């Protein structure tokens, strides 16, 4: 199929905007990215865990999205192989463990995964073989071998460098979809939670994390620690740095990490292994997850503006898949899987008139 190159503006350089830019450049489109926070920008994507964990998120996702997540993992594998700079992408699965008093939470979670062949119960010995530094502290767990993880800030840096190298323009400024709409063939609105002011269905869910360095400890994969208040995870980063996250706070504003959240996260880390008592705190961060009522993403087409938003806890997990849906929509390719994730709303009269005028010019 021959694709006519279009002038496309992408507003927002979170993972959704960058992933769209990457996919659309493959089809030869001319891309201009807008973000006042820079490239890469310091946003919810930049501080995320980077877990590509569709089964771990089964409580938040219907089966069709789990399929989408698995396709994204394959797409990330291809992207990682294409990027000139190596990125920390690992397909080593995820391990769930629980302290004795929280074993019932692990059992409840296991019941959601009953039908999934890729989930396996593991005992003390297998946990130790997977993660020797847990050192016999957990007697029962679940291993989800098809999950993966990557390092978000490094991946976003590598994507920005690659997009620049492929000729994408980057403008460090605010942009308004309704204005750019008149200057570009297509506008992708990827503003994350900032789009709340024009999309009343969108809400922000705050997530807080702690980064700590512990030279005494290593992990080969994300470890999820069942916790009564929110799902906790510890994700390994290079250099014995570990990220622990994340809180899940509805309606919370502000960019700070609360004292209570910091204490809860750090004490959970300490219960994972006492050597964290001497760990060095590197940073505390918070981000706002853009979310719709059902916590599922939406691609909405209104005239020549395509909004991609509501990625909630799944920005890295789902963005390559969503970008594939956007790419196919723009290329006019239809298939049963991707087409059904794009919802097309009627163009309003103004948009049609503008398009006709542009066509006539």
Ligand X SMILES: Cc1cc2nc3c(=O)[nH]c(=O)nc-3n(C[C@H](O)[C@H](O)[C@H](O)COP(=O)(O)OP(=O)(O)OC[C@H]3O[C@@H](n4cnc5c(N)ncnc54)[C@H](O)[C@@H]3O)c2cc1C
Tokens of 49: 């865990």
Q: Compute the least distance from the CB of residue 241 to ligand X, in Å.
A: 15
327 binds ligand X (CB under 6 A): no
Tokens of 60: 């938040």
Compare residues 246 and 306 and give the one whose CB is closer to ligand X.
246
Compare residues 142 and 190 and give the one whose CB is closer to ligand X.
190
Distance, in Å, from the CA atom of 312 to the CA atom of 276, rounded to the nearest integer, reads 29
Q: What is the DSSP letter of 230?
A: S
Q: Compute the least distance from the CB of residue 45 to ligand X, in Å.
A: 3
The stretch near ligand X (CB under 6 A) out of 98-106, 257-265, 282-290, 327-335 is 282-290
The stretch near ligand X (CB under 6 A) out of 1-9, 159-167, 255-263, 285-293 is 285-293
Distance, in Å, from the CA atom of 237 to the CA atom of 264, rounded to the nearest integer, reads 21
Instruction: Name the residue whose CB lies closest to ligand X.
Output: 14
Compare residues 41 and 272 and give the one whose CB is closer to ligand X.
41
Contact 321, 77 (CB under 8 A): no
Q: Which of residues 4-43 bind ligand X (CB under 6 A)?
A: 11-17, 34-37, 41, 43
180 binds ligand X (CB under 6 A): no
Compare residues 110 and 252 and give the one whose CB is closer to ligand X.
252
150 binds ligand X (CB under 6 A): no
Size of the site for ligand X (CB under 6 A): 42
Q: Compute the least distance from the CB of residue 208 to ligand X, in Å.
A: 6
299 binds ligand X (CB under 6 A): no
Contact 336, 33 (CB under 8 A): no
CB atoms within 10 A of CB 72: 26
Q: Which of 75, 202, 212, 246 binds ligand X (CB under 6 A)?
A: 246
Compare residues 140 and 287 and give the one whose CB is closer to ligand X.
287
Q: Which of 316, 322, 325, 326 binds ligand X (CB under 6 A)?
A: 316
Distance, in Å, from the CA atom of 65 to the CA atom of 228, rounded to the nearest integer, reads 25
Residue in 71, 82, 73, 43 with CA at minimum distance from that of residue 161: 82
Distance, in Å, from the CA atom of 237 to the CA atom of 222, rounded to the nearest integer, reads 10
Q: Compute the least distance from the CB of residue 79 to ligand X, in Å.
A: 14
CB atoms within 10 A of CB 346: 9
Q: Quick one: CA torsion of 319, 322, 327, 331, rounded to 10 degrees?
A: 180
Q: Which of 10, 32, 49, 322 binds ligand X (CB under 6 A)?
A: 49
Compare residues 140 and 247 and give the one whose CB is closer to ligand X.
247
Going by their DSSP bridges, the two strands 140-144 and 119-123 should be labelled as antiparallel
Q: Quick one: how far is CA 272 from the chain centroid?
A: 25
Q: Which of 56, 94, 155, 194 binds ligand X (CB under 6 A)?
A: 194
Q: Which of 311, 322, 325, 330 binds ligand X (CB under 6 A)?
A: 311
CB atoms within 10 A of CB 173: 8
Compare residues 140 and 142 and give the one whose CB is closer to ligand X.
142
93 binds ligand X (CB under 6 A): no
Q: Which of 32, 45, 146, 261 binds ligand X (CB under 6 A)?
A: 45
Tokens of 180: 């750019």
Contact 208, 123 (CB under 8 A): no
Distance, in Å, from the CA atom of 361 to the CA atom of 354, rounded to the nearest integer, reads 11
Distance, in Å, from the CA atom of 189 to the CA atom of 18, rounded to the nearest integer, reads 12
Compare residues 69 and 140 and give the one whose CB is closer to ligand X.
69
For ligand X, the binding residues (CB under 6 A) are 11-17, 34-37, 41, 43-45, 47-51, 174-175, 190-194, 207, 209, 245-246, 287, 289-290, 309, 311-317
């Amino acid at each position: 199929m021959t694709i006519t190159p279009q002038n496309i503006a992408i507003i927002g350089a979170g993972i959704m905007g960058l992933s769209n830019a990457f996919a659309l450049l493959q089809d030869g489109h001319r891309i201009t990215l807008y973000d006042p926070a820079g490239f890469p920008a310091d946003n919810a994507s930049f501080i995320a865990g980077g877990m590509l964990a569709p089964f771990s998120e089964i409580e938040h996702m219907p089966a069709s999205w789990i399929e989408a997540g698995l396709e994204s993992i394959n797409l990330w594998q291809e992207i990682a192989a294409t990027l000139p700079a190596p990125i920390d992408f690992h397909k080593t699965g995820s391990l769930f463990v629980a302290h004795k008093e929280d074993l019932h939470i692990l059992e409840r979670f296991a019941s959601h995964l009953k039908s999934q062949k890729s989930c396996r119960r593991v005992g003390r010995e297998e946990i130790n073989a997977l993660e020797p530094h847990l050192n016999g502290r957990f007697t029962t767990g679940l291993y989800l071998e098809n999950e993966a993880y990557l390092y978000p800030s490094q991946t976003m840096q590598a994507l920005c460098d690659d997009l620049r190298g492929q000729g994408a323009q980057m403008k460090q400024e605010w942009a308004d979809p309704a204005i750019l709409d008149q200057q570009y063939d297509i506008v992708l609105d990827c503003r994350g939670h900032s789009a709340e002011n024009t999309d009343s269905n969108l809400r922000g869910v705050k997530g807080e994390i702690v980064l700590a360095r512990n030279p005494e400890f290593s992990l080969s994969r994300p470890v999820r620690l069942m916790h009564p208040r929110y799902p906790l995870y510890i994700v390994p980063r290079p250099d014995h740095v570990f990220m622990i996250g994340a809180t899940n706070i509805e309606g919370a504003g502000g960019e700070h990490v609360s004292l209570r959240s910091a204490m809860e996260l750090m004490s959970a880390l300490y219960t994972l292994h006492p050597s964290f008592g001497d760990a060095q705190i590197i940073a505390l961060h918070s981000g706002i997850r853009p979310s719709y009522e059902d916590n599922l993403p939406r691609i909405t087409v209104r005239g020549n503006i395509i909004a991609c938003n509501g990625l909630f806890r799944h920005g890295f997990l789902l963005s390559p898949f969503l970008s594939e849906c956007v790419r196919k929509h723009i290329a006019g390719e239809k298939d049963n899987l991707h087409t059904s994730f794009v919802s097309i709303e009627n163009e309003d009269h103004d948009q049609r008139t503008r398009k006709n005028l542009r066509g006539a010019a």
